[in-house]
Amino acid sequence: MPATIILGSQWGDEGKGKLVDRLAEQATWVVRFQGGNNAGHTVVLGDQVLKFHLLPSGITRKECNLILGDGMVIDPWVLDTELKGWEESSGEDPSGDRLFVSERAHIILPYHRYMDSLDKKIGTTGRGIGPTYADKINRIGLRFGDLAEVIDDSHWASSTAERMNAALEAVGSKDRVNASDLASEVKWIFERYQSAIAPTGVMLDNALKLGERVILEGAQGCLLDIDQGTYPFVTSSVTSRGNATHGAGIHPGHVDEVIGITKAYITRVGNGGMPTELEDEIGHHLGTIGHEFGTTTGRKRRCGWFDAVVMRHAQRINGFTGLALTKLDVLGGLEEIKICVAYELDGKEIHEMPSSATALERCKPIYVSTPGFPAHSLDEWLDIAKAANRDGKGINALPAAAQNYIRQLEGLLGVPVTSVGVGPDRDATIDLV
C-alpha cells in the first residue's frame, strides 16, 4: 500500500495531530520527517488531552509503529520526558518495540538551546532547533548513529566543547559547555536510546514493499518552510511535500495522497507579516472560542480571516489531493465571514504572496464576504459529526451557510475538502468523501 502525507498548509497549528490520530487507526507506521520539539500536537480522547512535541500522533494506536525520521532534530531529554509521561498514562514504553529513532537524525544538545535563547528577532521557540540544523548544514552535528563512535572518545568531547564555547563567547553568551559533562550526556543518550536507534529508512521501504500503510506526519506549516515560507520568519527545515519522503528516507514514488490541513480561519505564532490579522472583537472571538494558544510555547496565537492567497501558495508547493478543514465550529455565531482573495500592495492588486517579508507586511487584504451560521456547543457539534458519519450525510449535516462557505473555499483553491473538523474531540470530524 502507498504512503499518505499530512501537512500543515498555513503557519502551523492547523490540527495535524487530530487527523493523524484518526488515520493511524488504519496505518501500520506513522513517521515524523522534520522539525523537533518546536512542534506541538494535541489529541483529545474524551476527557483526556494528550500533548506531544516529538512523539508521532499515532502513539495512541497501540498497533501502530512510530518513527522519528532522518530529517528530524531531536532533544533526547524532551523525548525521555514524553516517553515517561506516556508510560505513566498507558503502562507502555514503546522504545525499541514500536518506536524507532533514525540513526541519521541529529541530536539537540544543551549548547544548541543556549544559542537559540539569544534570538530576539524571529520569535523562535528557543528549543535549539535552528542551531542544531545549522550544525547539520555545517557538517559538525552529532547524529544518533554516530553516538557509538564518540562515547569513549575524550578528544571528541574536549574539541567539541572547545568549539561550542568559542561560538558562545563570540555571540556574547555567558553559558559554557563542560567537556566532562558533554561526555556524560552523550553516554546517557546512547544508553537510553540504544535499543531504539535503527536504519528507519530501510525499515519503511521494506514495510511499503510488503503493502503496509505509512503516514508521513509534518510539523509546522508550509508558510514556515525555510525555502517557501515567509523568510526570515520561518522554521529551520523544509516543512513541505518535497521533504516528506526525503526526511523519512524513502522515495517519492511511494506517495499517492497528500492532505493539507487548514483551519477555517488562520493563525500565526511569532513575528512576521499576516495580512488578514484581526485585532478586534472578531479576532478575540476566534482566539477565545478556538483556544488559540501554542501547544509548545503557550504563546497567544494571532488570528485572522481565511487567506486564500496563502492557501494557493501552499497548494502550488505541495499539490494537495485533498484538504482537511479544521475548527469550522469556531466561526459559529458570526453574522458575516470574510475570505481574503487577493492583496493590495503599494496601490496594486496582487494575487500571489510576495517573497519579501517586508513587502508582505505592507499587504492589505481584499475580501469577499459570505453569511455566517449559528453557534453550537462542543457537545452539539460532536453529536452532529457522529450522526453525519453514522448516517453518511457528509456535508449535508452542516448548516446551509457553512456548506456554502466550504464550497467557496473549494472553488477558490481548486482542491476538494475531504473532511471538516467541528471540535477538538477525535470523533468531532465529518468525513465528506
Report, as residue numbers or ranges, the catalytic residues. Answer: 13, 41
Q: Measuring CA to CA, how many Å separate 147 from each of 35, 162, 190?
A: 20, 19, 6
Reading the block at residue 239, the C-alpha cell is 516543512
The C-alpha atoms of residue 10 and residue 2 are separated, in whole angstroms, by 25
The C-alpha atoms of residue 58 and residue 17 are separated, in whole angstroms, by 8
* Angle, helix 179-193 to helix 154-170, in steps of 10 degrees: 120
- Any idea which residue has 492532505 for its cell? 259
Q: Measuring CA to CA, how many Å separate 121 from each of 9, 272, 424?
A: 24, 10, 32
Q: Is 232 helix (H, G, I), strand (E, B) or coil?
A: coil
Tell me the residue type at 286.
L
- Any idea which residue has 548513529 for its cell? 145
The C-alpha atoms of residue 343 and residue 341 are separated, in whole angstroms, by 7
Cis omega (within 30 of 0) for bond into 232: yes
Asked whether 392 and 359 are in contact (CB, 8 A), the reply is no
The C-alpha atoms of residue 275 and residue 203 are separated, in whole angstroms, by 43
Reading the block at residue 157, the C-alpha cell is 568531547
